[in-house]
Chains A and B, each alone.
Chain A
């Protein structure tokens, strides 16, 4: 079984309050805080599509879409 891969990452900036939870717990340091104090994806190529940022986000601002497990990349 191949691991699901990242299809798309979307962060709704107007919903993000910049708490930094996604930045603190991203296992591959994909996310950083920008100059306006909001989360932003700076190294999407390192994303392993675990989706934990999406599940933990208290502002429901993050959407991570992945390829299906069966789908060949």
Chain B
């Protein structure tokens, strides 16, 4: 099996719960990398803290497991010092948008060529099921025994507004779509954000009586539609998936190189 060369097989079976969507994201990510025929030496994966961030332990590329919410800050440093490397930053919903919210919007604003994955299972799984900024209203969580009253961020709208030049959303049910979107996001020259709707059967599913992993996947299948579909107009509760923004703008490392050349020229 060709994808195995991208895995640290000695750490398998992995630590995620049975049916956890993060495993499917790992599966799709290594397949996306494999279809591009990338060498393990040209990929750096940087993660923070949380269930999702454990993904860097399982991929046999250059990996950094860093501070909670600060993965993008470390990744920015890596990318600026070695712009020729492909930097991928897998984050959870809380890691990316609560603890790391500030790093997230500023990385997007700079349009630095990093691929940010938001593995959105709408809960803090590792610490026992507290609600996150992507849980949304009327959700049961360990810290919301009478349901949440906090509306969720719209990751797509937030990323577009902050300046990300590739923004997409997919789910762990639509795996072929996810592989294709991940491939395009990695190839994009600029800050790319992929929100992946994922399932946490252990905490989110159990607290909200959504059934087992397969039942939660059915929910993702029935609750999402391709972007621009008519069904969304009839039922606004449906979540759109697909590519929402894809444009070319000056990339941060390229601009930094230009300014360095100007600075050097001034000295001579």
Instruction: Name A's B-contacting residues (CB within 8 A).
Output: 14-21, 23-25, 52, 55-61, 63
Contacts and interface: CB of A to CB of B under 8 A. Distances in A.
Contacts of A18: 18
A19 B19 contact: yes
Closest 8 CB pairs of A and B: A58-B23, A19-B19, A24-B214, A17-B18, A19-B18, A55-B175, A15-B13, A19-B213
Say whether chain A's binding surface is mostly helix, strand, loop, or mixed.
loop
B237 interface: no
B112 to A, nearest CB: 30
Nearest to A15: B13
Contacts of A25: 214, 217
20 contacts: A15-B13, A16-B13, A17-B13, A17-B18, A18-B18, A19-B19, A19-B213, A21-B217, A25-B214, A55-B176, A56-B27, A56-B172, A56-B173, A56-B175, A57-B24, A57-B27, A58-B22, A58-B24, A58-B27, A63-B1
B146 interface: no
Interface of B: 1, 3, 7, 12-14, 16-24, 26-28, 30-31, 172-173, 175-176, 179, 201, 212-214, 217-218
Contacts of A24: 214, 217-218
Nearest to A58: B23
A55 B214 contact: no
A25 B3 CA distance: 23
Q: Which secondary structure dominates where chain B touches chain A?
A: helix
Nearest to B58: A60
A59 B214 contact: no
A21 B28 CA distance: 15
Contacts of B173: 56
Contacts of A61: 13
Nearest to B30: A60
Chain B CB within 10 Å, residue with most, of A16, A52, A60: A60
A8 to B, nearest CB: 11
A55 B179 contact: yes
B175 to A, nearest CB: 4
Q: Name which of B17, B23, B173 has the most chain A CB atoms within 10 A of its CB.
A: B23
A60 B179 contact: no
Contacts of B28: 55
Contacts of B17: 17
B214 A58 contact: no
